[in-house]
């Protein structure tokens, strides 16, 4: 069964460093998302991406964050200058379309980011 | 309460018993999705119910939706120790971004 994959599974970085989190959505899906979950807290929406552009972003998704679909398969989240409070589990998700039974979002296993 | 709030926050039952988790939300929705998360792991999609549906079944899962009360419930019948996990409801209010609740931590004692 197709699934969303994410790499790396864990990343440790120093405050101020740039990190890139990678995701491979399910191949025929058109909508892509990043969410994060700080330890013990809710899953929070960061950004959605469709047709090679951001379609929506939350207030968390400030200028330090960017997303890119550099080729036909990868979807990346970049944090330019990490802060301690960026430590969280980051989830990528995708769905096939916006309606007609394609709304189910499938999540990857997550990347646990620890900023020291 | 915030959009997508579950109750109870924690639930402990014996294997074989049924587990019921509730979710309340505030805004109009297109659909509501339930997810499961094992400790520190990814989110596994369980079931989606649309705003024009009242009940849905999938195996041992039964989900209800009451849009007049802005609430949903997830029933797991004949629970197993392997059902131990956190369960989240997530609402799609038409913007596609999902809004998650705080989750219910379910512990099924063998």
Instruction: Flag whether residue A55 sits within 8 Å of chain B, measured between CB atoms.
Output: yes
Q: Tens of pLDDT along A24-73?
A: 999 889 999 999 999 988 999 999 999 899 999 999 999 999 999 988 78
Q: Which single residue is written with the structure tokens 């131990």?
A: B84
- Which chain A residues are Cβ-neighbours of B33 within 8 angstroms? 104-105
The CA-to-CA distance between both ends of chain B, in Å, stands at 33
Which of the four pLDDT bands, split at 50, 70 and 90, describes residue A1?
Answer: confident
Query: Which of B31, B41, B100 has its CB closest to that of A103?
Result: B31
What are the C-alpha distances in Å from A115 to residues A85, B81, B99, B103?
8, 35, 25, 25
Q: What CA–CA distance (Å, rounded) separates A71 from B31? A: 31
Question: Which of the pair, A21 or B38, is modelled with greater confidence?
Answer: A21
Mean pLDDT of chain B: 91
- Which chain A residues are Cβ-neighbours of B6 within 8 angstroms? none
Percentage with pLDDT > 90 across chain A: 78
Q: Name the helix (H) or strand (E) containing B66.
A: strand B61-66
Question: B88-106 burial by CB neighbour count: b if 16+ within 10 A, else e?
Answer: bbbbbbeebbbbbbbbbbb
Helices then strands, counting H and E runs in chain B, come out as: 0, 11
Q: Return the ∠ at Cα B72 (arms to B107 and B11), rounded to 5°.
A: 15
Looking at residue B12, its pLDDT comes to 95
Residue A100 has pLDDT above 70, yes or no: no
Mutation pick from A30, A40, A42, A95 vs chain B, by most beta carbons of B within 10 Å, is A42
- Which chain A residues are Cβ-neighbours of B102 within 8 angstroms? 42
For residue A95 the two structure tokens come to 């769905």
For residue A3 the two structure tokens come to 């699934």
B72 Cβ neighbours under 8 A, 6+ residues apart: B22, B23, B25, B32, B34, B49, B63, B64, B65, B66, B89
Inter-chain CB proximity A104 and B48 less than 8 Å: yes
Inter-chain CB proximity A109 and B33 less than 8 Å: no
């Amino acid at each position: 069964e197709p699934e969303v994959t994410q790499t790396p599974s864990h990343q440790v970085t120093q405050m101020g460093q740039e990190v890139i989190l990678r995701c491979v959505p399910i191949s025929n899906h058109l909508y892509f998302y990043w969410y994060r979950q700080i330890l013990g807290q809710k899953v929070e929406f960061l950004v959605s991406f469709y047709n090679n552009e951001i379609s929506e972003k939350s207030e968390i998704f400030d200028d330090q964050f960017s997303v890119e679909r550099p080729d036909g398969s990868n979807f990346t989240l970049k944090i330019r200058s990490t802060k301690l409070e960026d430590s969280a589990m980051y989830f990528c998700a995708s769905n096939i379309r916006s309606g007609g039974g394609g709304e189910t979002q499938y999540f990857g296993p997550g990347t646990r980011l620890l900023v020291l | 309460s915030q959009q997508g709030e579950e109750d109870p926050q924690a639930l402990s039952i014996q294997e074989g018993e049924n587990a019921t988790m509730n979710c309340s939300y505030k805004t109009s929705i297109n659909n509501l999705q339930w997810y499961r998360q094992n400790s520190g792991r990814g989110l596994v999609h369980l079931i989606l119910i649309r705003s024009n549906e009242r009940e849905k079944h999938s195996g041992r899962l039964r989900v209800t939706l009451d849009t007049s009360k802005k609430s949903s419930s997830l029933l797991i019948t004949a629970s197993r120790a392997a059902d131990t996990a956190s369960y989240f409801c997530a609402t799609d209010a038409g913007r596609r971004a999902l809004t998650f609740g705080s989750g219910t931590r379910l512990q099924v004692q063998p």
